[in-house]
């Protein structure tokens, strides 16, 4: 119940620009410079923060991105801000925010409550999110331009602004970027979050209000189909987006093994009753691998364990769960 | 807490601070918001 409340509050806080829903516009104020710790598309009318995965791609899509990062140009150094933001959260709490803060995780948790036939997800499909992270978030935005196949090189546009300081750019009103950036391919062909939070809401507003500002192309209907598939899958399976697609979860999952905040299982007391697995929102067997990259650290399993084998914390003391004998002796006769 | 973990956090914190202090954050993310609409097929 507390987790649901925190999920709701964080989803609301991340999308608290209510005027955007009323006017059908997107907030572009100073808070958009701050990344949100979860998957929350910045094209959602209510979004007040930036999506970290979208921001990462935005940096990499700029012509000469590698060069900008390597030589320390201001538009390149922002890469360290976005990556540092993601890594910092990962190194502190691993995937904890997937379970407690991410708005799309919250949506998945709620939709999965719809009573219908439930299905599992093959174990191997979990690896897909790492491939998506490398190919669609890093490589394609970096190397594939809209013209298909134009490799990275410092562009003429980039060279033109090379000698201008950021203050000059602000004064002249020019941007630091070429007008021909690559595409954030993950957002463009896969991510259902943007379609749900941004596409559907903005287009619905547009059509209902009769403004008809937007012309919808093949891409919109393609993304709508992708969203439809995901929605059906989410109702039937536990958090399929988090387990098979989410690049942010993939990064934070890697940190689960080394983060400051960890999950711990007293394996000597565990009877493998599977009570933890039944309540797990990602179908994880925590007794097999407490630091599993799949665990979103929702802590739903902790009170459900009949032997109280599962604990979490930062220090060595938290690693030792209460022994079974002690638990038994404390229980009422 | 293991010292190596603390070191990892400190190192990443340095990377983050470097990005915040020297990176031109506003224009990049502002541009990202504009590109985003095109990405979801709204023109």
* A249 falls within a domain: no
A141 and A269, same structural domain? Answer: no
* A255 falls within a domain: no
Helix (H) or strand (E) holding B2: none
A301 and A211, same structural domain? Answer: no
Smallest CA–CA distance from B30 into chain A, residue = A28
A326 and A231, same structural domain? Answer: no
> Residue A275: what pLDDT?
92
Q: SS3 letters for chain A? A: CHHHHHHHHHHHHHCCCHHHHHHCCCCCCHHHHCECCCCCCCCCCCCCCECHHHHHHHHHCCCCHHHHHHHCCHHHHHHHHHHHHHHHHHHHHCCHHHHHCCHHHHHHHHHCCCCCCCCCCCHHHHHHHHHHHHHHHHHHHHHCCCCCCCCCCCCHHHHHCCCCCHHHHHHHCCCCCCCCCCCCHHHHHCCHHHHHHHHHHHHHHHHHHCCCCCCECHHHHHHHHHHHHHHHHHHHCCCHHHHHCCHHHHHHHHHCCCCCCEEEECCCCCCCCCHHHHHCCCCCCCCCCCCCCCCCCCCCHHHHCCCCCEEEECCHHHHCCCCHHHHHHHCCC
> Residue A251: what pLDDT?
96
Smallest CA–CA distance from B32 into chain A, residue = A58
* A189 falls within a domain: yes
**pLDDT tens-digit profile of B6-26?**
888 888 888 888 888 777 777
Cα–Cα separations (whole angstroms), residue A319 to A62, A81, A244, A260: 45, 32, 29, 12
B19 touches chain A (CB under 8 A): yes
Spans of chain A below 50 pLDDT: 147-179, 317-333
Q: Do A177 and B31 touch (CB under 8 A)?
A: yes
ipTM above 0.85, yes or no: no
A194 and A61, same structural domain? Answer: yes
A91 and A140, same structural domain? Answer: yes
A86 and A58, same structural domain? Answer: yes
> Residue A198: what pLDDT?
86
Task: Choose the mutation target among B10, B34, B36 for the interface with A, i.e. most A CBs under 10 Å.
Answer: B36
> Residue A202: what pLDDT?
87
A275 and A127, same structural domain? Answer: no
> Residue A153: what pLDDT?
44
Say how far apart CA A62 and CA A179 lie, in whole Å. Answer: 9
Count of structural domains within chain A: 2
B10 touches chain A (CB under 8 A): no
* A206 falls within a domain: yes
Smallest CA–CA distance from B36 into chain A, residue = A43
* A308 falls within a domain: yes
A63 and A209, same structural domain? Answer: yes
* A169 falls within a domain: no
A258 closest CB neighbour out of B5, B15, B22: B5
> Residue A62: what pLDDT?
82
The minimum CA-CA distance between A259 and chain B, rounded to whole Å, is: 7
A202 and A124, same structural domain? Answer: yes
> Residue B28: what pLDDT?
73
A197 and A132, same structural domain? Answer: yes
A317 and A237, same structural domain? Answer: no
> Residue A213: what pLDDT?
75
* A196 falls within a domain: yes
A153 and A122, same structural domain? Answer: yes
- Print the domain residue range for A131: 2-162+180-244
* A252 falls within a domain: no
> Residue A5: what pLDDT?
95
* Partner residues linked to A200 by β-bridges: none
């Amino acid at each position: 119940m507390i987790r649901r409340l925190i999920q709701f509050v964080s989803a609301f806080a991340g999308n608290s620009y209510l005027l955007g829903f009323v006017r059908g516009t997107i907030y572009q104020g100073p808070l958009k410079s701050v990344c949100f710790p979860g998957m929350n598309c910045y094209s959602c009318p209510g979004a007040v923060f930036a999506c970290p995965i979208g921001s990462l791609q935005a940096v990499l899509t700029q012509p000469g991105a590698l060069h900008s990062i390597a030589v320390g140009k201001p538009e390149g150094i922002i890469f360290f801000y976005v990556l540092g933001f993601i890594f910092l959260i990962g190194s502190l709490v691993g995937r904890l925010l997937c379970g407690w803060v991410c708005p799309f995780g919250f949506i998945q948790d709620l939709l999965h409550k719809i009573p219908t036939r439930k299905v599992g997800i093959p174990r191997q499909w979990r690896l897909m999110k790492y491939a998506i992270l490398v190919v669609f978030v890093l490589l394609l935005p970096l190397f594939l331009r809209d013209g298909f196949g134009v490799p990275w090189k410092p562009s003429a546009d980039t060279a033109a602004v090379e000698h201008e300081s950021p203050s000059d750019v602000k004064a002249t009103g020019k941007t630091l970027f070429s007008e021909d950036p690559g595409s954030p391919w993950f957002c463009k062909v896969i991510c259902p979050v943007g379609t749900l939070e941004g596409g559907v809401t903005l287009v619905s507003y547009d059509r209902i209000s009769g403004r008809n500002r937007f012309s919808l192309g093949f891409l919109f209907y393609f993304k709508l189909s992708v969203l439809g598939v995901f929605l059906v899958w989410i109702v039937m399976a536990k958090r399929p987006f988090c387990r098979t697609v989410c690049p942010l979860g993939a990064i934070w999952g890697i940190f689960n093994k080394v983060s400051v905040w960890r999950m711990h299982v007293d394996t000597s007391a565990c009877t493998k009753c599977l009570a933890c697995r039944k309540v797990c929102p990602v179908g994880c067997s925590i007794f097999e691998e407490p630091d599993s990259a799949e665990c979103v650290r929702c802590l739903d399993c902790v009170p459900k364990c009949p032997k109280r084998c599962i604990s979490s914390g930062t220090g060595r003391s938290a690693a030792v769960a209460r022994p079974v004998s002690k638990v038994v002796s404390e229980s009422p006769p | 807490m293991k010292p190596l973990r603390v070191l990892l956090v400190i190192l990443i914190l340095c990377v983050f601070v470097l990005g915040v202090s020297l990176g031109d954050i506003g224009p990049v993310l502002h541009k990202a918001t504009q590109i985003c609409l095109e990405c979801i097929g709204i023109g």
